[in-house]
Amino acid sequence: NPNAYREAEEVARRNRAVQDLYEPGSTFKVVTVSAALSTGLVTPRTRFTLPYQIKVADRWVHDAEHRGTETLSVAQILAQSSNVGIAKVAEELGPTALSRFLERFGLGARTGIGFPGESSGVMLPLDRWSAASLATISYGQGIAASLLQMASAYATIANGGLRVPPTLVAGVIDPSGTYAPRPTGDATRVISEATATTVTRMLAYAVQAGTGLNARIDGYQVAGKTGTAR
């Protein structure tokens, strides 16, 4: 079947890291926390009293594991990956501020890597957010990103809050042997270095004592975040 062969060839040549989109789920919580810390509305020690589930507009938001009402700090909310907790953090932040930080992290726009067919992701403009969007986007649902966009968001935190445009190659050597470096975009400040350091420590805590226990490596300090993608 020529059509089947053509479709199989297209799939084989597809660069899923830059072309395929997914709802990132809880790995996205790091963006919400970074935004809230940057605005000064919360600190890692700010505490919220959290039931197992809350109703936001027409939907229920609940955590992955059933539990009683607990009081958790922002650091614990991230480490334990509480959907209810991050929705409460986002409520403090508000939709306008969260939307602004999504753009600053480069979500909803191509990374500039220059690879053919790169997707810009899907981020609804603020005027199209529903009453539940603030909560759902805070934990990575209702927004679609590429793997490269999410990797870039985490690299921004690792780079001390600077977003550096990713590149595929360092440069090109022409037939004469002359090397020409590939032009790279300017780094942009997304969050302060102090905030990036704080978030990195929170991510290390998530691996040390939160849901990321399986990512621990003896002799190394690992920073990371679990998530269930769709």
Which residues does the annotation mark as catalytic? Answer: 26
Distance of alpha carbon 150 from alpha carbon 220, whole angstroms: 23
> What's the CA dihedral at 163, 37, 52, 206 to 10 degrees?
60
Residue type, 21: L
Q: What are phi and psi of 45, to 5 degrees?
A: -95, -5
Residue in 79, 82, 83, 80 with CA at minimum distance from that of residue 206: 79
Question: Do 157 and 102 meet the contact criterion of CB atoms below 8 Å apart?
Answer: no
Q: Provide the sign of the torsion angle of the four alpha carbons 208, 213, 215, 216, taken in this order.
A: positive
